[in-house]
């Protein structure tokens, strides 16, 4: 009976789709630990290496700039079941294997996602567009190969608003840093993390509220 049970277990393992097998590797460097998991058997080893290298290049820089108390241990999971691009929760970044195959050049998706770990806003008092705008602002500033992914901050268009989020908001934030007051976005990020953020912070930091800053941006949007 024991032999029969063992045979059944072994048979079950053998017929499981190979893509369901979850490989795991732990890499430690620069005081940080990255656990790399994947159930994608066809993951290009060169791409895996780039994902790992990008983490160890950008994460310490983001931590130093924004949040030295950020997590020291992070997990990456390349998942065949995930249908989005990438998502981050509780120190774990899940990447879509489909996205990886179609866009292997988009290595700075890592930079955007691990910035979310650094942000660590918890139950944020700020709007979602602000969180994503800051993450793409960080990608623009600290990304290692945005050009290779043909990723860039978009030129201003009439239909844009600062609430559009992601790259549109990130370009506005870049303009604030260059044309209004350096360090503004870092201060806003800190206020979101310690839950003191209110819309008044923009006027306190720059002398104008968001609508006033946007109006100035529209008049002269060059970076």
Series of mean pLDDT values for 10-residue runs along the chain (223 residues) = 38 42 87 97 96 98 98 98 95 97 97 98 91 98 97 98 98 98 98 96 98 98 96
Q: Model's pTM, two decimal places?
A: 0.89
Q: How far apart are CA 201 and CA 213, in angstroms?
A: 12
Identify the pLDDT of residue 30.
Answer: 85
Identify the pLDDT of residue 20.
Answer: 57
Identify the pLDDT of residue 198.
Answer: 96
Domain ranges of the chain: 15-120, 125-223
Give, in order, the Cα–Cα distances in Å from 8 to each of 13, 19, 214: 9, 21, 66
Q: 135 and 82 in contact (C-beta within 8 Å)?
A: no
Q: Which two tokens stand for residue 50?
A: 């780039």
**DSSP code, position 126:** S
**DSSP code, position 197:** -
Identify the pLDDT of residue 124.
Answer: 81
15-120 CATH pick, 3.30.2010.30, 1.25.40.10, 3.40.109.10, 2.70.98.20 = 3.30.2010.30
């Amino acid at each position: 009976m024991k032999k029969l049970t063992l045979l059944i277990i072994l048979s079950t393992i053998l017929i499981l789709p190979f893509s369901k097998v979850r490989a795991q590797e732990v890499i430690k460097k620069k005081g940080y630990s990255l656990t790399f998991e994947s159930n994608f058997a066809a993951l290009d080893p060169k791409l895996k290496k780039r994902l790992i290298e990008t983490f160890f290049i950008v994460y310490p820089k983001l931590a130093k700039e924004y949040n030295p108390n950020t997590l020291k241990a992070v997990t990456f999971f390349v998942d065949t079941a995930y249908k989005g691009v990438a998502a981050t929760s509780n120190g774990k970044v899940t990447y879509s294997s489909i996205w990886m195959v179609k866009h292997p050049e988009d290595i700075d998706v890592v930079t955007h996602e691990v910035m979310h770990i650094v942000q660590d806003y918890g139950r944020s008092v700020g709007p979602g567009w602000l969180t994503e705008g800051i993450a793409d602002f960080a990608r623009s500033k600290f990304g290692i190969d945005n050009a290779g992914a043909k990723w860039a901050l978009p030129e201003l268009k009439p239909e844009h608003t600062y609430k559009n989020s992601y790259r549109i908001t990130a370009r506005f934030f870049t303009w604030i840093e260059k044309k209004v007051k350096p360090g503004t976005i870092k201060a806003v990020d800190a206020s979101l993390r310690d839950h003191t953020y209110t819309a008044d912070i923009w006027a306190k930091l720059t002398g104008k509220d968001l609508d006033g800053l946007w109006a100035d941006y529209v008049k002269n949007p060059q970076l």
